């Protein structure tokens, strides 16, 4: 009798078959890991491309808003490595991973460049990238501790800035005409040890360290100016009474359209945000104030004050009566009241005056506005010719009598003539009380 053979379920595989199964399992495991890795890399690539597209969109948005200047954005677009580090930080933060405590030199350079050209644009980009850029307080510390060549001679930072400006203009098919201006400024004669060498001797940037050199009494300043610039931009603090008034706007309209300045096509005024004003003149005023304090109140006449300003490192141009002119406002209330939208001086943050629109004010109430509003504001028959003064304003008779009686006796004899020769005008108001 024949019986069918039954297979044994517990029969062991041959060594060769077991080896093949083991290799197949390892290969499947590696394939699965590779697929996961490819998926992760593709996802990372998509996120980076999305971030890069977002940055490109942000730069394009800033360019459309003209914040900061177009040539500044061209400089930013060259900071490729810094942008890459920014994208990596954003990716790590989105995945909940820790970030390095220190910023890379490339990202540091990118942040400093962007903040230098426009703090407002920096805040916008920092918010868009989930605060992965350093806080403005950190930027300020970097400014304070950054090593900058500030000694005599031509420093590398100046040439780098000029080169970046020229390259940015050349990329837009423009030329960069420059004018070299040289000026001298009086400085206080003083020798001081800075920890490495004595400072205060005549130094032309040749690094000669010799105490037999004379003590410097003047500083030579070399400045590059775009003399043939067609667009002039002026930054002003947000003081409505001084920097925002129709008399000033009327004067600029006259200057832009005057035949003396045929190269200028437009003048733009930009106003700082209230409470955030910092201008280079602020440090100059602080230096003058220090000199005045050192004098301990011994400032008797205008020549004494002029000497203090010169000791603070400023070049003084003493103005005379003929340097002053009386300008009249050419604004028409009729035109302003019917303008849509109506320009309110307190709300204007950007104003522009163009040669091809001689009676028109272009204005914005926010730097985020892409298009400027406009209105014709000059009244009919307005004569913009200024009336230059021929006679000094003078002070009231009573005011001069008080000065001569109470203050002049306390002054040295060679300082009294300034006050004794002051012109008088009975119609003059006391500015100390009239402007309060």
Residues forming a β-bridge with 357: 354
Query: Shortest CA distance to 70 belongs to which of 155, 160, 173?
Result: 173
Q: How many CA atoms lie within 13 A of 421 on its CB side?
A: 7
353 DSSP β-pair partners: 267
pLDDT tens for each residue of 211-227:
667 788 777 766 666 65
Helix, strand, coil: what percent of the chain each, to 5? 45, 15, 40
- Alpha-carbon distance 60 to 63, whole Å? 5
Q: Lowest-pLDDT range, 20-34, 178-192, 291-305, 306-320?
A: 178-192
State the pLDDT confidence band at 435, using cuts at 50, 70 and 90. Answer: low
Residues 67 and 367 sit within 8 Å (Cβ to Cβ):
yes
Nearest to 268 by CA among 355, 336, 338: 355
> In the chain, what are the domain boundaries?
51-145, 229-388, 397-434
75-122 residue pLDDT tens: 455 554 556 677 677 777 777 777 777 787 777 877 877 777 677 778
**Across 36-55, average pLDDT:** 71
Tell me the C-alpha to C-alpha distance, in Å, between residue 367 and each of 170, 267, 371. Answer: 27, 17, 10
Q: Give the range among 50-54, 125-129, 338-342, 359-363 with minimum mean pLDDT.
A: 50-54
Between 192 and 81, the higher pLDDT residue: 192
């Amino acid at each position: 009798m024949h019986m069918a053979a039954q297979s044994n379920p517990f029969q062991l595989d041959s060594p060769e078959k077991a080896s093949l199964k083991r290799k197949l399992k390892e290969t499947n495991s590696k394939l699965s890991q590779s697929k996961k890795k490819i998926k992760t890399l593709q996802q990372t690539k998509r996120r980076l491309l999305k971030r890069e597209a977002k940055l490109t969109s942000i730069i394009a948005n800033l360019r459309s808003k003209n914040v900061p200047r177009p040539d500044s954005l061209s400089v930013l677009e060259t900071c490729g490595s810094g942008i890459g580090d920014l994208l990596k930080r954003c990716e790590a933060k989105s995945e909940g991973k820790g970030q390095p405590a220190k910023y890379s030199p490339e990202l540091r350079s990118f942040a400093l460049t962007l903040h230098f050209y426009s703090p407002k644009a920096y805040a916008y980009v920092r918010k868009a990238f989930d605060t992965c850029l350093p806080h403005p307080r950190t930027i300020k510390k970097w400014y304070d501790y950054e090593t900058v060549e500030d000694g005599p001679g031509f420093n590398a930072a100046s040439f780098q800035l000029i080169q970046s400006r020229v390259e940015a203009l050349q990329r837009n098919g423009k030329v960069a005409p420059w004018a070299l201006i040289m000026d001298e400024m009086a400085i206080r004669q003083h020798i001081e040890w800075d920890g490495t060498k004595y400072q205060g001797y005549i130094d032309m940037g040749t690094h000669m360290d010799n105490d037999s050199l004379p003590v410097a009494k003047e500083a030579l300043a070399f400045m590059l100016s775009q003399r043939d610039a067609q667009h002039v931009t002026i930054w002003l603090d947000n003081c409505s009474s001084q920097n925002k008034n129709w008399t000033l706007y009327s004067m600029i309209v006259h200057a832009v359209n005057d035949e003396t300045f045929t190269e200028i096509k437009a003048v733009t005024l930009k106003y700082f945000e209230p409470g955030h004003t910092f201008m280079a003149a602020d440090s100059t005023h602080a230096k003058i104030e220090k000199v005045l304090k050192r004098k301990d109140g011994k400032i008797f006449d205008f020549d004494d004050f002029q000497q203090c300003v010169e000791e603070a490192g400023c070049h003084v141009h003493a103005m005379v009566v003929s340097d002053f002119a009386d300008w009249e406002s050419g604004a028409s209330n009729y035109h302003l009241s019917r303008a849509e939208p109506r320009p309110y001086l307190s709300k204007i943050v950007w104003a522009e005056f163009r040669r091809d629109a001689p009676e028109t004010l272009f204005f914005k109430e926010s730097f985020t506005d892409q298009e400027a509003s406009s209105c014709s504001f000059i009244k009919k028959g307005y004569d913009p010719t200024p009336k230059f003064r021929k006679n000094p304003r003078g002070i009231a008779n009573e005011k001069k009598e008080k000065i001569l009686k109470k203050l002049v006796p306390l002054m040295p004899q060679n300082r009294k003539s300034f006050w004794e020769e002051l012109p008088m005008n009975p119609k003059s108001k006391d500015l100390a009380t009239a402007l309060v």
